[in-house]
Amino acid sequence: MSRARAFTATGEPNLTTAKTIVVKIYNEGKTCNRRELFWLIKRLPDMKNTYAWMVMHNLLHERPRSSDTPSQKREIVVELTEAGQQFIDRLEGRKVDPSAALPPVAYAVDRQLYAKLAVTAIMNDQKPEDELTRLLAEYTENLDPVLFGIAKKKKPELFF
């Protein structure tokens, strides 16, 4: 009997692996059998953590194909969520609504931290998004524009 694999979503995902996972799901017709997907992507770098990161950030959704079969024999299918589609569109440089999804680097930020910021802002009668913008602006006000331009060229995945 096989045991379930433990996945942990630690740190930044491997963006090449993330794109490959999505391409495999697309090739299977928007949903993919999880077992077959893992067989196709098992040799990708940092596959386990990247896949777990994508599930944790609601970019991929896992669901049983049918609820009629016993749980041990139930086939699990993987599908791309709307947030996942926008994430991949950003990685591939397609034009997307900038308010619809965050750039990939933002998905690596701990959601608990966002929640604490939101609670603090609301306690002070402020909007959470305004407080976040203020903090980020304050933190980056001394950033050299030349360095920012270099970062856009060298690390495009931080922006789209």
Distance, in Å, from the CA atom of 39 to the CA atom of 75, rounded to the nearest integer, reads 15
37-41: Cβ within 8 A, 24+ apart: 37/78, 41/17
Q: Are residues 17 and 96 in the same domain?
A: yes
Q: Using one digit for the tens of pLDDT, what is the confidence trace for 84-142? A: 887 777 777 776 666 666 666 777 777 788 888 889 999 999 988 889 889 989 998 99
Q: What are phi and psi of 77, to 5 degrees?
A: -110, 150
- Same domain flag for 90 and 122: no
pLDDT of residue 125: 92
Same domain for 132 and 93: no
Pair (63, 92) in one structural domain: yes
Does this model's pTM top 0.75? My answer is no
Q: Which domain holds residue 46?
A: 1-100
Is the per-residue pLDDT at 35 higher than 50? yes
- Total domain count, the chain: 2
Statement to judge: residues 127 and 92 lie in one domain = no
Determine what percent of the chain falls in helix, strand and coil, rounding each to the nearest 5.
55, 10, 40
Rounded distance, CA 54 to CA 105, Å? Answer: 12
Q: Which residue has the tokens 């970062």?
A: 151
Same domain, yes or no: 146 and 79: no
- Of 62, 79, 100, which residue sits at a domain end? 100
